[in-house]
Chains A and B, each alone.
Chain A
Amino acid sequence: MSVSKLGKFAVVGLSAAWLAGCSTTATENDSAAMSEENGQAQAGSSDSTYAAGEGGSLNSVIVDDGAEGAAAAQMDQNSLDGVATVFYFDFDKSIVRPEAREALAKHAQYLIDNPDARIVLEGHADERGTREYNMALGERRAKAIMRYLTIQGVAASQIETVSFGEEVPVAFGHDSSSWQLNRRVEVRYE
């Protein structure tokens, strides 16, 4: 963690009214002070952790406003203008649909022509079913697209797969049309 990062953490003390004091419950202890390790563990994150003491105490907050990962350098992707980057799947399925083939072939050709290009295939599921199972399902879909691309000759080293499961929907209804839009793999050039 760089020293400059440290400056981005603001450690704020909160009300001491949260301190524990119930004398009969053994678990309650006065909450420990926030240490710098919290900040170190946080390096480069967009999230914030808070201490929530066992005795109902909340004594410190780390606010980390450092943003990780600057936007990936934009490369010349003119040859991909107008080519679909989102591919849809049937319920509980990870089969690449025939209508996806033309666009995927263009991505494949681009990746073959530009061996330094890298893509992330981000797989998603609809809200039905359990969250971790949907994480696996989203990955299976991303892998299905990956397999399609590697069969076309793209090097596997150019492709990374990530699953978001049902966590990042693009349609917010609770009906079949929203679910269809959410069962998808998005191609993201890094």
Chain B
Amino acid sequence: MKKHIFLAFVMACLTFSMSARAQLVIEITSGADQLLPIAVVPFGYSGAEPLPEDVAGIVQSDLLRSGVFETIPRENMLSLPSSSQNVSYRDWRLLKADYVLVGSVTDNNNGTFRVSFELLNVLTQTRVGKREALDVRPSNFRDAAHYISDKVYQQLTGIRGAFSTRILYVTAEGDKGAPTYKLQVADADGYRPRVVVSSKEPILSPSWSSDGKKIAYVMFRNRRPSIFIQELATGKQERLTQFEGLNGAPAWSPDGKKLALVLSKDNNPEIYTLDIATRKLERMTNHYNIDTEPTWEPDGKGIIFTSDRGGSPQIYRVDVNSKNVERITFEGELNTRARLTPDGRYLVTVQKNNGDYHVALQDMNTGRVEILSQTYLDESPTIAPNGSMVMYATSERGKGILAVVSVDGLVKYKLPSADGDVREPAWSPYFN
């Protein structure tokens, strides 16, 4: 089944003072073949004031975007129950829904609202899991919706949902010759973008700490690159390196104590680790060719990186203790900018074949390689913390956009931005 669903989210973001900022809009360009039919019924609400967000609508969009679900259109629904007590299962069997999500929103009259929800199995006519309730402020309806999406996804797939995660990305806006670079953080669905840093000089290579509280990135100042770390909650920023030459590609270690990074202070690009507390540098690689784009293995024992020591750039691994280096990729004209899935099972790279750059997925057990993306000038792949999706930067009509592809290659969608180039996505870890 091929899908072309344009989800135009018409959300009254009245509570968000910054809502004038351009948001990413999701466009699903293809879907998986075996989809789980679910009805997400509009949540019941009897208050006088209109709600700032359509919670069920956000849940429906989340589930649709996951590529696992097929959602029953609202206009086809025969009844709109808001709790399991008033569900007529016959209505949902007729619509061929296997599951129904029902819920309600009630005003607590203290500035918060109670959002309740239940997931029901139409075939067995039983509830899946518990009925849950959340008390949220109006500004957190989207958080509540993503929480519900995570619950539904986990209940029905057994895999933890990643709807409550966030993405970092860089935009370049304005005059192409002198743009304004902005490092932004948004919900994983592109909503609620917020500027973290803005500069007239380039910003690149954003990276999350493993607890999701800090970020690292490269920013130029006075025409020279430095690595910065910054606390998201406070904005507190610290310049970590400003060596002569490259200061690039920071990657947080799984234990949060170190950054892997690239410095050329000793003449050519090498991978180092920097202990953030002690500022002690340790050199990981030693080769006269380019070594760059480090990323940690999930257990922190090895660092995966790009090197052209064999001629064309390919992916290598250096053992953090022994410093032994081994080559990992062998297919394609070149492979760069690798990332591992959280379980370490798959490696995604930017692979070049016949002049085209695409996101490739290599099974670390079998060595089998598949090309995941078919867009133009694909780069900067980043993986959702549940390992299900790969987001990457690509180019469409001369403009940088973000796109997402599932690890199985079946689901693809784009997140075009209203203005400016969007690049360098970095998917957050789980926040709890």
Q: Which residues of A are in contact with B by a Cβ distance under 8 Å?
A: 14-15, 17-29, 31-35, 37-38, 41-42, 44-58, 60, 62, 68-69, 120, 122, 127-133, 135-137, 139-140, 143, 160-165, 167-170, 172-174
Contact = CB atoms under 8 A, between A and B. Distances in A.
B395 A174 contact: yes
Most interface-central of A15, A21, A34, A38 (chain B CB within 10 A): A21
B200 to A, nearest CB: 5
A129 B336 contact: yes
| Pairs of residues from A and B, 4 with the lowest C-beta to C-beta distance, nearest first | A47-B199, A51-B235, A21-B137, A15-B17
B345 interface: no
Given A55-B140, A130-B350, A45 B290 contact: no
Contacts of B202: 164, 167-168
A27 B112 CA distance: 18
Contact of B185 (A35, A52, A60, A165): A52
Contact of B237 (A22, A26, A41, A130): A41
A17 B237 CA distance: 24
Contacts of B164: 25
A62 B237 CA distance: 11
A40 to B, nearest CB: 9
Nearest to A57: B233
6 contacts: A18-B16, A20-B137, A32-B234, A49-B230, A132-B293, A136-B269
B234 A130 contact: no
Contacts of A37: 236
Contact of B235 (A20, A60, A163): A60
Given A48-B198, A174-B398, A34 B235 contact: yes
B237 A42 contact: yes
B243 to A, nearest CB: 11
Contact of A130 (B132, B176, B239, B337): B337
Nearest to B136: A22
A160 B336 CA distance: 27
B197 interface: yes
A53 B136 contact: no
B357 interface: yes
B134 interface: yes
A132 B292 contact: yes
Given A21-B135, A129-B352, 8 more contacts: A22-B137, A23-B112, A23-B134, A24-B134, A49-B235, A62-B235, A132-B337, A167-B202
A11 to B, nearest CB: 10
A132 B249 contact: yes
B340 to A, nearest CB: 16
Given A50-B194, A128-B377, A23 B135 contact: yes
B34 interface: no
B236 A35 contact: yes
B375 to A, nearest CB: 13
B201 A131 contact: no
A128 B334 CA distance: 12
Most interface-central of A33, A128, A129, A167 (chain B CB within 10 A): A167
Given A48-B199, A132-B205, A136-B262, A56 B143 contact: yes
Nearest to B164: A25
Interface of A, helix, strand, loop or mixed by DSSP: loop
B89 interface: no
A52 B17 CA distance: 14
A131 B204 contact: yes
Interface stretch (B25-33, B212-220, B407-415): B212-220
Contact of A133 (B225, B235, B290): B290
A35 B262 CA distance: 31
A18 B138 CA distance: 10
B290 A136 contact: yes
Contacts of B239: 41
A30 to B, nearest CB: 9
B228 to A, nearest CB: 8
Contact of A120 (B132, B223, B225): B223
Interface string B340-365: 00000000001010000100000000
B155 interface: no
A59 to B, nearest CB: 9
Contacts of A143: 268
Most interface-central of A46, A54, A135 (chain B CB within 10 A): A135
A28 B143 contact: yes
A131 B293 CA distance: 9
Interface in B364-390: 377, 379-380
Nearest to A68: B222
A141 to B, nearest CB: 12
A58 to B, nearest CB: 5
B337 A133 contact: yes
A25 B143 CA distance: 9
A132 B213 CA distance: 24
B282 interface: no
Interface in B386-430: 395, 398, 423-424
B129 to A, nearest CB: 14
B407 to A, nearest CB: 20
A70 to B, nearest CB: 10
Given A18-B139, A20-B140, A167-B204, A131 B237 contact: no
Contacts of B238: 41
Interface string B36-52: 00000000000000000
B317 interface: no
A54 B16 contact: no
